[in-house]
Structure 1
Amino acid sequence: MRLRVPFRNLANATPAFPIAEGRTVLLVLDVHRFTVSREEGYARLARERGISRELDEYHEQVDLMLPNLRRLLDGCRRRGAGVIFTRLVLPEDGGVSTQAEVTGLYAARDSLEAEFLPEVAPRSGEAVFDKTTVSAFNGTDLDRTLRHLGTRYLLLAGVPANGAVEHTARDAADLGYGVVIVSDACAGDTWAHHALVMANAGSGLVRVRTTEMVLEMLDRKRT
């Protein structure tokens, strides 16, 4: 059944985002061993609960997402866009959100599950925000950091599409940032949830584009 989004049709058209003019940051949300490994984190918890097959669709998407994310990272770095990472990791001050206390879905600090995958890891000088919240803006200094950098546009990639990506996108738009969700550099917990987020998110200050489209935007080949 085709997804209907009637409220989106009531809004004015989403403006063009001149992300090639600088002031653009790629925000990579929660892509580390706890979330994307087939052995640790989510996978470990599913295995302990006897529901490993429930994550099959998620891991299929992760396998497709990672090469796109690597290409996106390389492309943004070459073109001078900023790069910031987040992790679902207990912050240094030990503060845990009430939500995380209930779910328990975060990695211990300095654990294997807190580590990034080498192929999509931060480089020297790229900021990493540790959080136990869903949105990257809650409980962190992300907004202040972005404003200090003069950021106007955010490119969002990561996991899960129907969690950190969606919540961060909506918070960013409410804060006045232009947002581009990079659809094929995200993974949802199911294919259906990924499709739902991408179909429903694109309005106001939020757009949805593929990795190829974003790189073309950075090269001024499209808006």
Structure 2
Amino acid sequence: MPSHEQLGELLDPAGTVLITVECQQGVVGPAAALPQLAREARESGALANIARLVTAARARGVQIVHAVAERRPDGRGANRNARLFRAAERLPVQQLAGTDATRVAPPIEVAGQDLVVRRLHGLSPVQGTDVDALLRNLGCRTLIVTGVSANVAIPNTVFDAVNRGYTVVVPSDAVAGVPADYTAAMIRHTLALVATVATTDEVLDALRPDAPARVRRE
């Protein structure tokens, strides 16, 4: 785990953005397409921790980005080149644009200054979307990655961000996947190699208004 000073330096609000990945009703809500994933996100406390992080980060001037996955009713532009995509087409809950399934799920709150980025294809909210350009325009240097799933979208987000030159912080108890022990192993053996792993409480502590002064990175 990083020291308080190290984490505080990384999380200078002026250069930090927090992204929530697929924290939408149709993925983590009560009537989700994948009930096991939704149950794990809620029962593990990950969803509640994401809500805490969003509220605290916003209060400190950190930009919030919500990355939502959706599809058109006719499926135009959507991938079909992997089992995951073809299986998603048969799920009882579809992430159709404009429906409740693509709205950010409680207890996470969306504020007027938040940015919501929607994608119709792929596995990552960074690749082939507006996210990278938005982060650069915002002066982002550190990206806090939260959400689901630890199986697919979260590692894709982390790798894509690192490949584009961003420093990534992953609050380990603010991401979820299935089974639960896979999430822990993936974070420990994969994401920890390329990102700074901390807990929600450690990130919240580093974002406190009275946290030690940051050393601005060039």
TM-score, normalised by the number of residues in structure 2: 0.80
Q: Is the 8 A contact 1:18 1:217 kept in 2?
A: no
Q: What is the SS of the residue equivalent to 2:140? A: coil
Supply the distance in 2 between the matched residues of 1:210 and 1:170 (Cα, whole angstroms). 20
Instruction: Name stretches of at least 5 consecutive residues in structure 2 with no aligned partner.
Output: 1-5
What is the Cα deviation at residue 129 of structure 1?
1.1
Within the alignment, does 1:62 sit opposite 2:42 as a pair? yes
Within the alignment, does 1:163 sit opposite 2:156 as a pair? no
Aligned residue pair count: 196
CA displacement 1:1-57 (0-9 Å, x = unmatched): xxxxxxxxxxxxxx86521252100000000111112323223xxxxxxxxxxx2x7
The verdict on how the C-alpha distance between 1:18 and 1:178 changes in structure 2, with shifts beyond 3 A counting, is same
Structure 2 equivalent of residue 96 of structure 1: 78
Q: Which amino acid aligns with 1:133?
A: G
Q: Which amino acid aligns with 1:211?
A: T
Supply the distance in 2 between the matched residues of 1:58 and 1:123 (Cα, whole angstroms). 23
Structure 2 equivalent of residue 119 of structure 1: 107
Greater Cα offset, 129-138 or 175-184: 129-138
What is the Cα deviation at residue 71 of structure 1?
0.9
Q: Which amino acid aligns with 1:102?
A: R
Q: Which amino acid aligns with 1:73?
A: V
TM-score, normalised by the number of residues in structure 1: 0.78
The partner residue of 1:33 within 22, 25, 37 is: 25
The partner residue of 1:174 within 163, 174, 194 is: 163
Q: CA RMSD, aligned part only?
A: 2.5
The verdict on how the C-alpha distance between 1:97 and 1:107 changes in structure 2, with shifts beyond 3 A counting, is same
Within the alignment, does 1:146 sit opposite 2:138 as a pair? no
Q: Is the 8 A contact 2:47 2:147 kept in 1?
A: no
CA displacement 1:40-85 (0-9 Å, x = unmatched): 3223xxxxxxxxxxx2x76134231122111111110111111000
